[in-house]
Structures are given as C-alpha cells and as structure tokens.
Structure 1
Amino acid sequence: MDERDWLVLQALYEEKNITNAAKLLYISQPALTNRLKQIEKEFGVQIVNRGRRGVQFTPQGEYLAKSAYDMIHRIQHIKENVLNMENKITGTLRLGVSTFFTDYKLPGLLKLFKDEYPDIEFKVTTEWSSHITHLIHNEDVHVGFVKGDYGWKDQKRLLFEERICIASKEPINMSLLPDLPRIDYRTDQNLKMTVDKWWAENYAKPPLISIDVDKAGTCKNMVANGLGYAILPSMILDDLEDLHKIELTTPDGEPIIRKSWMFFHKESLQLNIVKAFVEFIERIDLEDIH
C-alpha cells in the first residue's frame, strides 16, 4: 500500500460515506471504490459493508483505518527527513493557524516567506487556538500560531500583544452597557472566558445580545455600521479609526492583554524547512504585515 491508499482509508473512516470521501480526496467515486477493492484484495479481507446509512467498517477494516493515521504520519516524516538530507530549503511546511491569524496575517506572511524560499509549499489547517495546540502537540503540524495561553511546555515565541476593547460607532456610557445592543461572534473559549470574567466583575446583569454572527470580521463591520457595540481584540480594529474604543481593564486598572504565540517542538528545528521558517518569524515584525 502507498500513501494514497492510507489516505483513502482515513477519509472513508472519517466520512463513513464513499461520495463524501471521494470529494475530500478530489477523486471520482468509481476511482475510490476501485482503490478500496484493491486494498481488500491485497489484505484478503473485507474492509467495509455498505448500507442505506452509509459505510460500516468490519473489525479488520476498522483496524486498518485506525492504523492509517500512524502510517501517513510516518510517511510524512520519512519524506521530510529525505529532503532534509539534501540541505535544501524545500518541501511542505505544515502550519496550524488560529482563525484570526488566518484572516489578518497569514496571506502576507506566507508571501514574504515564499519570496525568500520559492521551493516551499504550504499545508495550512485553520482552527480555534485550542485545537491548534492539540495538533502541534501530536506533531500533525510543524508550527502552530495560537492566541492566548495554553500551557505549552516546549518551544514558543511571543509574536505580539493586543488589548481587548469595547468598540462602538458612537461614544458609550459604560454604566448603561448592559442595556445597549451588543453584537456577539464565535470565538475561542480562551477569549470568551476572559470577556465573561470581565463582565461578571463589572455588571450584575447579562449583556443584551442583539446580533450573533460567526466571525469577528463580520461583527466589526456591523459595529462600523452602527448596529451595536462589540468586545473585540484591538488588532482587528486597526483599520477603522473612526470607531470609539474603550480598553478593558482588570479590577486593579491594568489593561487586559491577549498574547499571540508561535508553538513548535525543539526537535522540529532539525528540519531545514522548520528552522528557516522559525528564524524568518523571529526577524520580522508581524505587526507590520497586513
């Protein structure tokens, strides 16, 4: 079996549906079905049963599918080590990136790195910071960009700090905040807990959520159009100078800071591609990238 076969088993096990797995792998359904038959023939076992509710794995098939993750991971490491022996900066850099970082920093960052190392390719996974921490811990990605503190014990670099702000189109009387329309958005649990803690320290009433959206960028645009206030990290507001901003503070009057980090394993620096990327990040100013 080659890497593609293991990817077929992995996708099919995750999707439990041949059509969806084929789409995930960018191959036709007949091609996936034929590949599955070849795998069954190679091992001499039936891997799946097909029914109205989708694909059900046999015990042998489930064992193979669960082995797929380790096999794919091992093949990736072999490829990386072989490329590394040539002392060239080439190959695929696997990055895990928080949603905010993907929207506001990543495109410009990757362009600059690609300009220096044109033979580099990227595989980017975008998720909440908590999930990125899990990916980097399991070495599913070489480098993770996360927002907030997650108790990472290996190598990390502080990228930048930003403050958490109340943003509004018009000036706000803070004593009336619980009765004013708030625009909320989906964010990682770390930031949500920080904002909820600040609210509980300052108000007895819950916020009046008038609009709930999926992204911070959408939330910002609604604030800019006067539909309500929002509590957002300061960096996302940098391009809107006409908004009124009030920084959140602790009971002691200290600003509430949110830190962005780069996480990676020390042994990953043995790979030329990772070492080059980490050194690149260390010498540039991320706050200047848009």
Structure 2
Amino acid sequence: MDEKDWVILQTIFQERNISKAAEKLYISQPALTYRLQQLEREFGTMIVARGKRGVEFTAQGEYIAQYARNMILQLRNTKEFVQNMDKEIRGVLRIGVSGIFARYELPAILKEFINHYPNVEVNVKTGWSAEINHLLHKEEVHVGIVRGNYIWQEEKYLFREEPMLIVSQKQIKNIKELPNLPRVNYETDQTQKTLIDNWWQETFDQPPTVTMEVDRIDTCKEMVLMGLGYAILPSICLKKEDDVHKIILTKKNREPLKRNTWLLYRERSLSLSAVQAFVDFLKEYDNIKIDDKDLIPQKFE
C-alpha cells in the first residue's frame, strides 16, 4: 500500500461512489475497482460494501481509510517541513477563506503576496465560514479567514471590523419605516444571520416585509441598486461607485453593529516559512477602509 492507494481510499471515502471517485482521480472505473479489490486481498478483508446508491465502508474499511488519511497528512507535513529547512521563503500555503471575503478582498491580497513571495505555491479553498473553521480543525488548511466569531483555541487575529449597513437606492429618512418597506434577503452564514436577526428583534416589534429571497449577496445588491427594496449588508460588498444610501446599524448603546473578520492559525504552522510570511503579511496589510463620510448613523425621529 503506497501513497496512490491512500489517495484512492480517501477519494472513495469522500465520494462514496466508485464512478465519481474514478472521475475525480482521472482513472477508469474498472482500473479503480481492480485496485480496490487488490487492497481487499492485501488486507484480507472487505473494505467497502457496494449498493445501488454507491458504496459503504465496512468497520475494517473505515479504519483503513482513517489510516490512509493520517498517512497522507503525515507525508504532506513532512514534505512541507523539508521544503522549509532552508532560509528561502517557499513551499505550499494552504488557506481556507470565507466566500464573501474571497469574492471582494482575497484576489488583491493574493496578488500582492505572490508578488512579494513568488516561490510560494498558494492553494485556496472557499466556503461558508463554518466550513472553513471545520477545515482548520481537520488540519486541511494552514490558515483560515472566517467572518463572525467561532470557537478556536489557538492563534487568532482580528483582521477586519466593518459596519453593517442598511442599504437602499432611495434615502430612508426614518428608520421606523423599515418594517413596512420591501426588503431583499440573501443566503448567508448563521453568524451573520443571527447578528442581523438579533438587531431587528431588539429594534422592532414586528417582522420585516421580505419581498425577495435570493441565493447570493451580489444578486441582492443588484436588486437594491435597481430600487427594488432595501437590504442589510456588510460594507465589504459595497464599492465607492455604488450609488446607494447607507445607514450604519447601531446597538441599543449606540455602538456600531460590526462584522468581524478573523485570521485563524496554529502556532506550530508558523514553522513553515510560507505560513509565517502570509500571517505577517496580513497583519501588516494596509486595510482598505470604508469611507465613512457618506455613512449616516442610525437614528429614530
């Protein structure tokens, strides 16, 4: 059993389907089936049970698949450590990034980082912040950039604080009007949804008038730009040229309601020069801040 076999087992374990695993591995299904049978002969046990909906791992198969995952991780860590034994900043940097941060901030950051460190190979995975947090716990990424507050016992750095805004094409003169105005909602992670919902419940005694539900924050913003309703958005998704009115949300104590972006990592990962360089780079990065001259504080008249 070698590295190729570890990858085969992990891919089948993730996909739970021989055809999909073969497609992902760029090998034929018969070749994959044959190698799986060879592994079963080698271990003297059935690794998977085949059914109409795919495959299920036996108890022995689960154990072997976990062994394969550990060996892949150990080999990867060894390669990364060896690559970092010299003084040159090089190697592989694996980062997991919140989808919205990846959309609006990451490209510019990575472009500048790679300009500084051309010998670093950057691998990126994006998703909901909860998914990125999960990848960190599984050690599938070196660094995570998440939005919202998550339990993380190791190193963390508050990279960005940004206001939450009421955004509309026409000016909203009195915030008391909101419950009766058409609102555009969008899919977001649970931490931001909770943040917005808690503010609404503290501010109003009736639900919002949601007239549109969309799956992307970009779509929501376009609806607002067309004057089809207002939305509650984090300032990260707004550009200076967006012709909209913005009101900062505030808590009962009049503090701005903010959305936090965190940099999460393990201290031991800093032994890798690429990780150390990226963490230092982000901490020194010249954050582009929202021009607050056109932001109106929330107030009731």
| Same fold at TM > 0.5 | yes
Q: Does residue 233 in structure 1 map to residue 230 in structure 2?
A: no
The aligned counterpart of 1:10 is 10
**By how many angstroms is 1:49 displaced?**
2.8
Answering whether residue 181 of structure 2 is matched by residue 180 of structure 1, we say yes
How far residue 198 of structure 1 moved from its aligned partner, in angstroms, is 0.6
Q: 2:150 aligns to what SS in structure 1?
A: coil
The corresponding residue for 2:87 is: 87
Which residue of structure 2 lines up, in the alignment, with residue 101 of structure 1? 101
Cα distance, 1:93–1:150 mapped onto 2, change above 3 Å:
same
Distance 1:61 1:238, change over 3 A: same
Q: Which residue of 1 aligns with 2:126?
A: 126
**Structure 1 position 151, deviation (Å):** 4.0
Q: Which moved more, 1:199-208 or 1:32-41?
A: 32-41
Question: What displacement does 1:196 show?
Answer: 0.4
Task: Give, in angstroms, the shift of residue 32 of structure 1.
Answer: 2.4
How far residue 59 of structure 1 moved from its aligned partner, in angstroms, is 2.9
Residue 240 of structure 1 and its aligned partner are, at CA, apart by 4.1
Report the counterpart of residue 203 of structure 1 in structure 2: 204
Residue 37 of structure 2 corresponds to which residue in structure 1?
Answer: 37
* Aligned equivalent of 1:268: 269
Task: Determine the C-alpha separation between the residues in 2 that align with 1:202 and 1:78.
Answer: 54
Amino acid at match of 1:67: Y
| Alignment match, 1:170 | 170
The total of aligned residue pairs comes to: 288
SS of the residue corresponding to residue 261 of structure 1 reads: strand
Distance (Å, rounded) in 1 between the aligned partners of 2:204 and 2:118: 53
**Do the aligned partners of 1:147 and 1:258 also contact (CA within 8 Å) in 2?**
yes
TM-score, normalised via structure 2 length? 0.89
Q: Matches of 1:26 and 1:217 in 2, distance apart?
A: 34
- CA–CA separation in structure 2 for the residues paired with 1:180 and 1:282: 41
Paired residue secondary structure (2:288): helix
Gaps of 5+ in 1: none
Cα distance, 1:187 vs. partner?
Answer: 1.1
Alignment match, 1:71 = 71
Quote the offset at 1:106 in angstroms: 1.4
Q: TM-score under structure 1 normalisation?
A: 0.92
Amino acid at match of 2:247: I
Shift of 1:258: 1.4
SS at match of 1:135: helix
AA in 1 matched with 2:22: A
2:260 is paired with a residue of what secondary structure?
strand
1:249 aligned residue: 250
Q: Give the letter aligned to residue 65 of structure 1.
A: A
Q: After superposition, what is the alpha-carbon deviation per residue over 1:24-52, rounded to whole angstroms, capped at 9, x for unaligned?
A: 33443234223323323432333223232
Tell me the alpha carbon deviations over residues 91-130 of structure 1, each in whole angstroms, 9 at most, x when there is no partner.
2211010111111111222222222222222221212222
Residues 287, 42 of structure 1: CA spacing in aligned structure 2 closer, same or farther, 3 A cutoff? Answer: farther
Do the aligned partners of 1:160 and 1:287 also contact (CA within 8 Å) in 2? no
Equivalents in 2 of 1:273, 1:13: separation in Å?
30
Equivalent pair of 1:105/1:286 in contact (CA under 8 Å): no
Q: Which residue of structure 1 lines up, in the alignment, with residue 20 of structure 2?
A: 20
SS in 2 for 1:170: coil
Q: Does 1:284 align with 2:269?
A: no
- In 2, the alpha carbon distance for the partners of 1:37 and 1:84 equals 38
Distance 1:21 1:286 in 2: 41
1:95–1:125 contact (8 Å) kept in structure 2: yes
Instruction: Rate the CA distance shift 1:282–1:209 in 2: closer, same or farther, 3 A.
Output: same
Go from structure 1 to structure 2 and tell me whether the alpha carbon gap of 1:28 and 1:225 turns closer, same or farther (over 3 Å shift). Answer: farther
TM-fit CA distance, 1:89? 2.2
